[in-house]
Amino acid sequence: MADKALIAPYGLEPTRRPARSASYRRVLLCALGGVLLITQANWLLKTGPVSVKIPLHAEEALQKCRVLDIPPGPPPDFHLRKESDRFVPGTKATLIKNATIWTGGESGKEVVTGDLLLDKGIVKAIGRVGADVIASFNVDELTSYDVEGAWVSPGIVDLHSHIGVGSAPHLSGSSDTNSHAGITQPWLRSLDGLNSHDDSYRLSISGGVTTALVLPGSANAIGGQGFVIKLRPTAEKSPSSMLLEPPFSLNGTEVDPSLPPRWRQMKHACGENPSRVYSGTRMDTIWAFRQAYEKARQIKESQDDYCVQALAGNWNGLGSFPEDLQWEALVDVLRGRVKVQNHCYEAVDLDGIVRLTNEFKFSIAAFHHAHETYLVPDLLKKAYGHPPAIAMFATNGRYKREAWRGSEFAARILADNGLDVVMKSDHSVLNSRYLLHEAQQAHYYGLSDNLALAAVTSTPATVMGEDHRIGFIKLGYDADIVVWDSNPLAIGATPKQVWIDGIAQLASPFTAEKPASLQRVPKTPNFDKEAADAVKYDGLPPLDPETSTKGTVVFANVSDVYIRSGSSLERVFTATSTENPGAVVVQEGKVVCMGLEWACLVGDIRENAIVRDLEGGSVAPGLVSYGSPLGLRHIPSEASTTDGFVIDPLLSKVPNILGGDDAVIRASDGLLFGSRDALIGYRSGVTSAITAPVTRGLFSGLAVAFSTGAAHKLQKGAIIQDATSIHVVISMASSVSVSTQIATLRRLLLGAGGGELGAEFKKVAEGSLTLVVAVENADIIASLIALKSEVEESTGTRLKITISGATEAHLLAAEIAEASIGVIVTPARPFPSSWELRRVLPGLPLSQDSNIGVLLSHNVTVGVGSSAQWSVRNARFDVAWAALESHQELSKTEALALGSVNVETLLGVESEDVDLVATKGGSLLDFESKVVGIISPGRGLVDLL
């Protein structure tokens, strides 16, 4: 990216006479032909025998015929515009000075250093902005913003979002993502369900997202029409006023029929979702597609036949122009005027859709999710018209069967095969505020930097047909601009300011100074072998270590070593210079020497050891996963691959043979070792997990701590601690009232329980067992604090209570600290998905501090968890990001503790045999390092990866 840095000779250009495009000429010729035809018909009526009766609707029908096959696109003089159609009168011009501008040009390799002038809602100058241009503005007409070399990019473009139709917080009254009224419904429109009060708009803008394609959901084979919106609030406050280039006239927006039409968007879906919703099979879904497209083809052919006669003046018996409001959008698909966005995962479904496109002669704009596309690139190239782009997640996979073979290397593999790659959010499956993080991860796993940033800017803009105005920083393009606090591909990159249509969106943004190391494009590790194996093994490469040894292993060229010391971490070694690197020597899984190489590598140790050069990397305690059902599920949506759910006594009758209402379930009894999520987590430095039984009610059970790299339960070191803590869930989402849940907990803590449940809560009341309460809402947390005080006053014993989830804990940070309650924030970055999570503390740039930062500032012991098992692998990045975002300046030791020793302490883990992780090229928290080894004293070996 940076190799193209230059000062471009860009500036304000003189107005030029627009070139006439081929489509423009076709429109003009057709119009002239129509005029001649009507003139001839009128002449015949006046001068000769009446043989043809011209209907009253003739001109309207001819107009439709003339434009049937005009391809969509901008008007030929679009780039000569002086003002955006979305310009808000009174908006000041903005001069962004001293910027490092990633323009999206030159295949994403162009970087311009200089200034950027925004005026009238568009980009007016890039690079050098002359003094005469600046002087042309009155003082009160121009705002200058010196960004001091900061990175600037086009606004983030989300190709797949349900923002507004699946609103946050989720409420039944605003759930408009899917219709279940029929498997093919091309007549539905996401615009008709777009909620302008979604809390997500503000949050997503704060992550740099400026434009989103809002699609219907994937319940149906044909779910309906999508619409492109700008996320900024408008004076009209209506969904229609958010639209970018609506394809037809609505609410006063007129589309000139003499100009090329605008692109439309359509959602398709195949595979598991339509099958599940309509109790069908893949065969049923493909047949539904074929039926719908056959209907559309019949209408299209009847229109074509009609127009042949109408344009020839043969009106006798012709009747009205054949059209059907329900099917007109699908007819437009066949005419090449609709961007089809197709949710499709597996090769079997991809193949079915490719065949469909060739049968009915239409193109797919993009396959979405598309977890197996990297395995079948040649198939994609057989699609009608052109190969589809691939809109995907970076690492989100294995959550259902059709996502089982997803790979973190898919983006780079697809790009290597010449296919366009887009990273998307599927908001709110992923919070689109962090869509840029998908590009960062794709880059980490091997996608080139220019294509990674393009994957959330210029490529999605091109795929949706809006690349004539968004996705790039070019003269005349929409003034959708983001100034970043670090390189956009660096972990935790956050906007300092966002402009949409030239309007600044962040009223009083909070910023933090990022280190110089984050101002450049990260150097990514080498994953060539792993990427090749993903293809070689058809998406399921072996996840076993390259070598497991009890012998001597030397980790050389070590910069830092961290170890656990009681309930904290300690840095015990730091290399003072590259000339005096450190070494760690391991025998039978135990560290026997750590220090300078000359002190540890004595005698013939090197000759009798496996040596790994860490290239300035580090050795640190492994991270600990908590918050997901890791170890109890292989494929979450497939019940036959999971441990299942606990029977809750408040919701159901518990069988007497189980112990009735006094039963306590142990997660250790249901552990499923060797899941791909666990093994991928292990290879990413998450060496252990603490997992509680999965419940739909109040009672969960006793959690277990286990090794994520173990093969089975009986293997040495597989079970770290059989029972760590007892877990309950208190939520407003339960069918039982919160007050009932609290009352039940009160009775148990005050000794009213019997049997095994009573015995375990007696331990809690005595302070010997940790009680972990999953809770999000501040009001419920307040009730728990009061309950803790009440029980402690009654028993005279200090309780050990940890709350997890804790989205609204920042509102009670002082009270939580005073009550000596620990907190595991899960997930690390908040989203107001439901009512009880709505009071998020968003963090930079919307607030100076984060939930984690506020808790730490009150000396609360804080851990960081993962809410989904697929995301366990990203724990190291979550911890690094949390540390960067905290207003408290955390040392690397304190940051590492957030994801390791703090979690163990808060969940009652007492083992001292802590695994250590060796990383190459940086520390465990660096976005440039790679995990290459696990030192496991509990299992007495070293795994080399």
User: Measured between alpha carbons, how far is 738 from 547 in angstroms, rounded to an integer?
Assistant: 51
User: Measured between alpha carbons, how far is 318 from 321 in angstroms, rounded to an integer?
Assistant: 8
User: Measured between alpha carbons, how far is 623 from 688 in angstroms, rounded to an integer?
Assistant: 7
Radius of gyration from C-alpha coordinates of the chain: 31
Tokens describing residue 542: 């072996």
- Positions of the chain with pLDDT under 50: 1-33, 35-38, 40-41, 43-48
Instruction: State the DSSP H helix or E strand holding residue 331, giving kind and residue range, or none if neither.
Output: helix 328-334
Give the pLDDT of residue 602: 87
DSSP E strands, 588-670: 590-596, 610-621, 623-626
Give the pLDDT of residue 49: 52
User: Measured between alpha carbons, how far is 593 from 600 in angstroms, rounded to an integer?
Assistant: 6
Give the pLDDT of residue 255: 78
User: Measured between alpha carbons, how far is 654 from 697 in angstroms, rounded to an integer?
Assistant: 13
Give the pLDDT of residue 33: 47
What are the percentages of helix, strand and coil residues in the chain, rounded to 5?
30, 25, 45
- Specify the residue for token string 């009672």: 699
Tokens describing residue 755: 């049997």
User: Measured between alpha carbons, how far is 152 from 115 in angstroms, rounded to an integer?
Assistant: 10
How close are the terminal C-alpha atoms of the chain, in Å? 30
Give the pLDDT of residue 719: 97
Query: Hey, is 442 helix, strand or coil?
Result: helix
User: Measured between alpha carbons, how far is 675 from 873 in angstroms, rounded to an integer?
Assistant: 13
User: Measured between alpha carbons, how far is 131 from 142 in angstroms, rounded to an integer?
Assistant: 13
Q: How many CB atoms lie within 10 A of CB 172?
A: 5
Amino acid at 618: S
Nearest to 156 by CA among 446, 517, 480: 480
Give the pLDDT of residue 911: 84
Tokens describing residue 464: 């949706």
User: Measured between alpha carbons, how far is 612 from 100 in angstroms, rounded to an integer?
Assistant: 38
User: Measured between alpha carbons, how far is 82 from 476 in angstroms, rounded to an integer?
Assistant: 7
Give the pLDDT of residue 605: 87
Give the pLDDT of residue 441: 98
Query: Hey, is 753 helix, strand or coil?
Result: coil
Contacts of range 23-26, beta carbons closer than 8 Å, 24 or more positions apart: 23/70, 23/71, 23/73, 23/76, 23/260, 24/75, 24/76, 24/260, 26/70
CA-CA-CA-CA torsion for 869, 875, 878, 880, nearest 10 degrees? 180
User: Measured between alpha carbons, how far is 898 from 825 in angstroms, rounded to an integer?
Assistant: 10
* Residue 204 near residue 427 (C-beta atoms within 8 A): yes
Q: Are strands 568-574 and 553-565 parallel, antiparallel or unpaired?
A: antiparallel
pLDDT digits (tens, 9 = 90+) for 2-32: 443 333 323 333 334 344 444 444 444 444 4
Give the pLDDT of residue 51: 64
Amino acid at 320: S
pLDDT digits (tens, 9 = 90+) for 580-590: 899 999 999 99
- Burial of residue 687 (CB within 10 Å: 0-12, 13-18, 19+) is buried
**Residue 847: which region, alpha, beta or left (left: phi > 0; alpha: psi -120 to 50)?**
beta
The alpha carbon of residue 320 and the mean position of all alpha carbons in its chain are separated, in whole angstroms, by 48
* Residue 198 near residue 304 (C-beta atoms within 8 A): no
Give the pLDDT of residue 254: 75
